[in-house]
Structures are given as C-alpha cells and as structure tokens.
Amino acid sequence: MDITAQQNLVHQTRDARRAIDFPKLSPAERDALIKKYHPDHRGQAYRSIKFGPNAGESTVTEVATLLEGDSPISAEFDLTPEYSVDVLVVGGGGAGCAAALHAHAEGSNVLLATKLRLGDSNSVMAQGGMQIAVAPDDSPVQHFLDTLKGGHMKNDHDLLKVMVEEGPSIGQWLLELGVLFDRQADGNLHVKKGGGSSKARLLTCSDYTGLEIMRVLKDEVLNQKIPLLEFGAVVELLSDGKGACTGAVLQDLDNKRYVVVAAKTVILATGGIGRLHIQGFPTSNHYGATGDALVLAYRMGVPLVQIDTFQYHPSGGVYPEQLVGALVTEGIRSEGGHLVNAKGDRFVNELDTRDVVSSSIIKECEEGRGVRTAAGRVGVWLDTPLLDVAHGPGTLDKHFPAMVRQYERYQVDIRKDPVLIYPTLHYQNGGVKIDVKSETPAPNLFVAGEASGGLHGRNRLMGNSLLDLMVFGKRAGQTAAERAKSLKQGKLTLDHLSQFRTEAKRHQVSTGMTSPMVLPAYTRQV
Amino acid sequence: MANNSIKPQQFAEQASEIQPQMVTVEIEGKPFQVPAGVTLMKAMWYAGKEVLRGAGCLGGFCGACATYYRTKDDPKVKTCLACSMAVEDGMSFSFMPAFPARKAIYNLPELKDPKQDLFELYPEAPLCRNCNACTEACPQKIDVREGVWKAVFGDFKAVADMFMDCVMCGMCAPVCIADIAPNLVAVYASRSQGVHFTEKPEGLATRIKKIADGEYQEDWDRILQLSDDELQKTSASIT
C-alpha cells in the first residue's frame, strides 16, 4: 500500500478517534511496558564498564567503549599555556552561554571554547518549550512532583528542588535579555501543557523556543565581548596532581593545533551523546553531540550517574527519507494530536511520559501494527491535521510554523496529511555527577546542562532541559567566578591521565579508540 | 577519530542502501555521484568530504549550513540549508563561506531610545535601496526587505514577529548593496522589543516573590520528609 492510501485511513478514523478518551497507564502498567519495549532494557546492547569510577556498572556498549578510550594527548605533552583565564567554559549551547554570561557578569576573565560555532547545539532546536511554574494554579512543588514522577522517582531531590525553585527567576532573566515568550491577552506568560505534566507549564516562543533563546544569548555573549574560541574542541583536562582541575587542552579544528588553557575553574557544557547512535538509532541531536564531557570528567576520576538510561523521543521523522531521525515537535501531541497505528487506532495516551509513549510506539511496530514506507522503515502516524480540525484552520500555521516549514521543504503538507514518526535518540538522561552548585567531585571542575546527570532521573520531562541549562549554567558560572576570585592558578599536570592509563593497563583494556570523539565519522571512505 | 568502533557513517549512507538510484550533482564545481534523495549535507559526506564549517544542528535551526544551489539548466541561484534540502540530478551547490558582517555592540537596558539608537548602531539600515535581494536570499522565506523597513520605521513588534523564524544563516547580508546585515538588525529590534516595549508579566513577579517569601516552605517540608513510598504515592496521585 502506498503512503497516500495508508494516510486515508487516518482521515477516515479521525472523528471516531476524537470521541475516545484514552487513559494514562497505571504505574504498574507503565513499568511493564517499559521493561518489555524501551531500548534501555535491551540487555544485549549493554556491557559492564571495565575500570574507572564506574567500574562494574552497566551502560550501552557505545558509551563504555568511549569511556575506556585513550586520550590523544601523550604523557610528554608540553603544557605551556597559551591562555590563562579565571573561567574556561567549554560548549556554546544554552548551558555554555548562560555560564559564560553569568561568570562574566561576576567580573571573571572568561574564555568560551566550542567545537563548532557559538550556538550550534541542541538548545537551538528545542521546540517544545521551557517548563517554569508560573501559572496561578501551579507551583514549584507541583513541578517537582511531576518531574519526579516522570523520572521514575530516581531524580536527585536537591538538584531538582533547585531547578524548579529558580525557574521563575530564570524566566525573568531571559525576559530582561529580550526573549519574547508567548503571552496571554492580559500580558502574562502563556503556558502550554507538556507530556507528563499535571499543569500547563511550558513557556514557548511559538515552536522556536530554543532558537529564540539562543539568538538572544549569542547576541549577548558577543555584546559582552566574551573571548571566543570557535572550532576549538576540548580533548583533555588538566589537573594539579591532587585531583583538582586546573585547565584543559583544546584542539583548534581549523588547523589541528593543540591549545593549552590554564584556568582556575573549568565548566564543561558539551551536551549529550546522540551522535554515538546508541543501538543503531537515528538521532535528533546536533553534529557535535558525542559525549565529550563524559569522557573528560571520567578520566579525571569523576563518577557518572544513571549513565545507563537514555531518552528516545517518541516523534522522530520516518518519512520522507531526508527527515529520518529529525525531531517532530512534541507540541503537536500537547495540543491534542493523536498517535495512530496502521489499523487507524490510537494506542496510548499521547500526553504520557516520553518513555511510555516511545515504548508503546515500538510495541505497535514490533507487533505488526506499524506503517511501512517504501524505503523499508516503519513508524506510526501523528495526526497533524487533527489540530486544524479541532482548534480551527490556521492552528498549525500559527503554533507550528517551524514544523510546517520542515515538511514543506519536502512537499509534505502537515495541514492536509498526517506524518510518520518513530522514536529517535534524543537525550542522555544521566551524566556527570554534580552538586547543587553544578560542581563535580573534582574541585573546580563544573558540568552544566545535558552533560550532567541526576536531575532528570531515568526519564526527562519535556521542557525541563531548557530550564536545566539556564539554572545550572548560571550556578556553574557564578560559582566558578566566585571561586576564581580567591584561587591561585594551580599546577598544570596530566597526572590524572597517567593514573587512568595505568588503570587501563592493569585491566588490559585497549579499545584502540581515541576519545573524545569530537565529531562523528560520517565522511565516506572513498 | 581513529579506529572508531562505532560506525555512525551507516546513517549517512543508509539512504543509499534503500534507494540505490544515483544522481550526479556538482559540489563546488566538481561532479559527484550521490544517492538520489539524500540531503545536500549527506551528499557531501557521501562524496568523501570532511565537513567542519558548514554543519551544526543538522535540523534546520542553526543556520550553519547556508548553501547556494542551482537546479539543472536553471540560471537562478537559490539558497537553502544543506541539512534540509534533497539533492536532485543536475543540481549544483556550494556552502556559503562565513561572511564578515559587522555586528553592532550595545547594552540594551541602558539604551534610552532604541528606535532612534538604531540609526547610530546600524547607520546603514535606512540606506536600503529596495532591491529585494535579501528577501529572495532568505531560505526561511522571511520578507526581509519589509522587515528592514519596519525596523527603520520603528515597528519593532512587527520585526520580532517576522523574524521569529530567522535561523541567523546570514544569507541576506552578502547580497545587500547597502551593506546591511538584516538578520543582525532584526535581532537588535527584536531584543529591544522585549526589553523596552513589552509589558512585564505580573504573574511571574508574583511567583518570584512568593518563592522568596517562603510561601512554599510548608509544602516542601511536607514533601521532603516523605518516605520514598509515600512520595511515589503523592506523585502518582496528581493528575
């Protein structure tokens, strides 16, 4: 059957489906579904980490191999610094920009290094919005409980409380920088309901929330004249020989030259792991999402938390081919869009948490109720035209201009036809262990944003990432700047790396892999 | 990196396995055979090219892959984002190099009259000669020329609305005969709109004050002393 014929079934069943109220699963049903179908529970994709702070713990093979990889920096490397700064921020996405701006505001001498351009990140793609408890019927406590429930009760309570309580003041900060959040008629912030949340809590800038925030933050980083090193990838950290971080070795990707940075404090804000294509999944992530901070912190002896759990976003593109893995905004489901299988039936409450929805899509497809494309891919329908039917013509144009455009480029009109989706590798739920100030157990080494772990438990709620970036980017930036005021620049050594290599040898580990990966190897060997 | 045990390149090539049909495209003036239907970005990788400058979010939002292209026998050179455009036979394309447009430096909260200050920060903005090349160059289909005039006439609200789709690819700048960088003018106007001409949401201020005043302390005390089981029940009970 061609795609058009299959789409017709979605049109035909729309009215009948609208009459059905699909209940959310009970906690027991959720757990059973996830255990059976979520990729986090595919045992054969996992293995034990052989050495280091998380030795013996299980994670996906791709991450374990990366962590056990060797540094490109040799023991005899000349550590004469080219830069000497108070705060080195690595990463030019939301967390990195927030950290740099706040550290700069505290009077620190900051260097912001990023392996692509300033702003090239996952943050810029965030479409769904940013969760902040601003509505009168909502509260930070509600936000806390929703997030905890979404994270399967495994979230770090201290980190989470900080995030939900500082949310409103972060909203204020962004407004003061000129971010144009959607408003209600009375001038208050418009809030939308996101998957897994009991209250409408998503602040949005139509479906360009991340783009709008990043346009503003980038512009402000430039206005503040914060020194930048674009196309500068961090490949190793430096330590004082006693466990504290004292700088980093970067590589200028334009000329391959190594650049040593002496820094009183270092903030890693390098994002997630999508480009490792865990378990062969396509990804919604940006080009540089190769888990660099995980590797660097790990070699410094810093443990990772919940590094066995990843988020597979329910709606990655399946058709057309060019959109495979690309994110289709969750906003469609937030506004009532149905998920529909090949038989024309709904099969899950679309506003359940991402892990539940993804598991249910995988279940439909594995049990033969998926829709197959000519290219051999499988997925389920997301009924986009329903939004115009339910809320009036023009709804999609007004609320989802980015998505309308995303498909229009390939001659697909989402106002007329539903789109095919399947889960895509989206987010690293865990990450580097941090405290409430965003500092790792290695003194003067901070990690902020997706690279850090603990806050989201085993499943991140929609809209909590943008807030995480801003809250912990700020905390890292301010704390690092404060710290740097009373700190002398420490010695620059690679002692931690020697220890790491000794450990690798002792465990007879030689993966032959150099890490961090920096960029995925997409170039075909011709 | 060397000896990478992970082979993500399969994703670049996946489409080739599925659609073995090949097309010929010209990349930077040189012909290559690439699988039909792949994005221009994947065509680059397939052709064996390392991509550093020119790839960013790969999702159509960051503007890193601003590209000029032309279809077979058509003299018109158009613009696109290489991550979001499919190749076709006979197509010719090149990435846009980084363009050295000047960004004005400003401290927004300190500006007294942002609509007037525009003329000092971007004195070239009112020199638009209406050639419309910027609008034609925009891969996001923004009416850029109209936006520049809206900015000049002080309708910053309209600029903000029109440029919400702007991915800052900067393709409007090199074509401007008046040396305007419309995307940068738009960011200035849009941020000014937010900082100076948009009302402060009262509800947000109220919420911040309530948190500062400790109004949620009782709730926190109650929640945080719960056992894991009780906490789970409490979380499960909210809908």
We report the CATH number of the domain holding residue B182 as 1.10.1060.10
For residue A102, the one-letter residue type is H
Say yes or no: B58 and B122 in one domain: no
Distance from C-alpha of A347 to C-alpha of A360, rounded to nearest angstrom: 7
Distance from C-alpha of A15 to C-alpha of A441, rounded to nearest angstrom: 56
Range with lowest mean pLDDT among A114-123, A315-324, B178-187, B220-229? A315-324
Inside any domain, residue B58:
yes
Residues of B in contact with A122 (CB under 8 A): 57
Inside any domain, residue B100:
no
Name the A residues in 290-329 with CB < 8 Å from any B CB: 320-322, 324-327
Inside any domain, residue B102:
no
Strand ranges in A217-275 using DSSP code E only, listed in sequence order: 228-230, 232-239, 245-252, 258-268
Say yes or no: B14 and B43 in one domain: yes
Listed residue (A148, A122, A130) closest to A426, CA to CA: A122
Is residue A270 over pLDDT 90? yes
Range with lowest mean pLDDT among A141-145, A452-456, B6-10, B121-125? B6-10
Q: How many C-beta neighbours within 10 Å does residue A204 have?
A: 23
Distance from C-alpha of A512 to C-alpha of B112, rounded to nearest angstrom: 60
Q: What angle do CA B183, B184, B187 make, to 5 degrees?
A: 90
Say yes or no: B181 and B218 in one domain: no
Is residue A8 over pLDDT 50? yes
User: In this predicted structure, what is the pLDDT of residue A300?
Assistant: 97
**A187 Ramachandran zone, left/alpha/beta (phi>0; psi -120 to 50):** left
Q: DSSP state, A268?
A: E
Residues of B in contact with A179 (CB under 8 A): 194
Please answer yes or no on whether A125 and B59 come within 8 Å at the CB atom.
yes
Q: Name residue, tokens 């939301």.
A: A94
User: In this predicted structure, what is the pLDDT of residue A188?
Assistant: 98
**What is the average per-residue pLDDT within B185-203?**
98
Listed residue (A28, A9, A40, A18) closest to A281, CA to CA: A40
User: In this predicted structure, what is the pLDDT of residue B188?
Assistant: 98
Tokens at A411, concatenated: 């001659």
Inside any domain, residue B52:
yes
DSSP-based three-state secondary structure for A189: strand
**B91 Ramachandran zone, left/alpha/beta (phi>0; psi -120 to 50):** beta
Residue B73 CA from chain centroid, whole number: 30
A222 CA: distance to closest CA in chain B (Å):
8
DSSP-based three-state secondary structure for A234: strand
Which tens digit of pLDDT belongs to each residue from B53-99?
A: 999 999 999 999 999 999 999 999 999 999 999 999 999 999 999 99
The half-sphere exposure of B135 on its side-chain side, counting CA atoms within 13 A, is 13
The half-sphere exposure of A158 on its side-chain side, counting CA atoms within 13 A, is 7
Residues of B in contact with A281 (CB under 8 A): none
Please answer yes or no on whether A401 and B234 come within 8 Å at the CB atom.
no
Q: pLDDT-derived band of residue B11, with 50, 70 and 90 as boundaries? A: very low
Element holding A310 (H helix, E strand) = strand A310-317
3-state SS track over A311-337:
EEEEEEECCCHHHCCCECCCHHHHCCC
Element holding A488 (H helix, E strand) = none
Distance from C-alpha of A393 to C-alpha of A389, rounded to nearest angstrom: 7
For residue A494, the one-letter residue type is L
**What is the average per-residue pLDDT within A252-270?**
98
Residue range of the domain that includes B213: 202-237
Distance from C-alpha of A126 to C-alpha of A463, rounded to nearest angstrom: 8
Which tens digit of pLDDT belongs to each residue from A313-361?
A: 999 999 888 898 988 988 899 899 999 999 999 999 998 888 999 999 9
The burial class, CB within 10 Å (0-12 / 13-18 / 19+), for B19 is middle
- Domain total of chain B: 3
Q: Is A313 a catalytic residue?
A: yes
Which tens digit of pLDDT belongs to each residue from A18-64?
A: 998 888 888 899 999 999 999 999 999 999 999 999 999 999 999 99
Say yes or no: B75 and B122 in one domain: no
Q: Which residue of B has its CA nearest to A400?
A: B165
Distance from C-alpha of A39 to C-alpha of A310, rounded to nearest angstrom: 8
Distance from C-alpha of A330 to C-alpha of A316, rounded to nearest angstrom: 10
Inside any domain, residue B103:
no
Q: From the DSSP assignment, how many helices (H) and strands (E) are in chain A?
A: 15, 20
Is residue A4 over pLDDT 90? no
**What is the average per-residue pLDDT within A267-289?**
96
Residues of B in contact with A518 (CB under 8 A): 1
Q: What angle do CA B208, B214, B220 make, to 5 degrees?
A: 105
Please answer yes or no on whether A125 and B61 come within 8 Å at the CB atom.
yes
Say if strands A258-268 and A83-90 run parallel, antiparallel, or are unpaired.
Answer: parallel
Query: Between helices A495-506 and A292-299, what is the axis angle to 10°?
Result: 90
Q: A40: which residues sit within 8 A by CB, 6+ positions away?
A: A34, A308, A309, A310, A355, A458
CA distances from A291 to A63, A235, A430, A449, B43 (A): 8, 12, 11, 12, 26
Inside any domain, residue B2:
no
**What is the average per-residue pLDDT within B139-166?**
97
User: In this predicted structure, what is the pLDDT of residue A1?
Assistant: 57
Distance from C-alpha of B97 to C-alpha of B78, rounded to nearest angstrom: 15
A271 and A122 in contact (C-beta within 8 Å)?
A: yes
Listed residue (A384, A182, A206, A122) closest to B165, CA to CA: A206
Map out the domains of chain A as residue ranges.
Answer: 3-37+311-425, 87-309+429-498
- Considering only CB atoms, A180 lies closest to which of B51, B194, B202, namely B194
Final residue of a structural domain among B71, B95, B119: B95
Q: pLDDT-derived band of residue B20, with 50, 70 and 90 as boundaries? A: low
In a mutagenesis test of the B interface, which of A144, A215, A400 is the best target, namely the one with the most B β-carbons within 10 Å?
A215
Final residue of a structural domain among B95, B116, B150: B95
Final residue of a structural domain among B70, B95, B120: B95
User: In this predicted structure, what is the pLDDT of residue A329?
Assistant: 87
Percentage above 70 pLDDT, chain B: 91
Listed residue (A248, A325, A328, A288) closest to A451, CA to CA: A288
Tokens at A326, concatenated: 């690309």
For residue A217, the one-letter residue type is L
Distance from C-alpha of B122 to C-alpha of B152, rounded to nearest angstrom: 10
User: In this predicted structure, what is the pLDDT of residue B16?
Assistant: 41
Distance from C-alpha of A171 to C-alpha of A261, rounded to nearest angstrom: 33
Asked if the A3-37+311-425 domain carries CATH number 3.90.700.10, the reply is yes
- Considering only CB atoms, B52 lies closest to which of A175, A253, A402, namely A253
Is residue B148 over pLDDT 80? yes
Q: Is A333 a catalytic residue?
A: yes
Percentage above 90 pLDDT, chain A: 88
Is residue B10 over pLDDT 60? no
Residue A268 CA from chain centroid, whole number: 14
Q: How many C-beta neighbours within 10 Å does residue B39 have?
A: 27
Class of domain A87-309+429-498: alpha beta
Q: pLDDT-derived band of residue B9, with 50, 70 and 90 as boundaries? A: very low
Name the A residues in 206-265 with CB < 8 Å from any B CB: 206, 208, 210-212, 215-216, 218-219, 222-223, 225, 231, 253-254
CATH number of the domain at B25, please.
3.10.20.30
Say yes or no: B129 and B167 in one domain: yes
Inside any domain, residue B87:
yes
| Contact with chain B for residue A402, Cβ under 8 A | yes
Say yes or no: B78 and B13 in one domain: yes
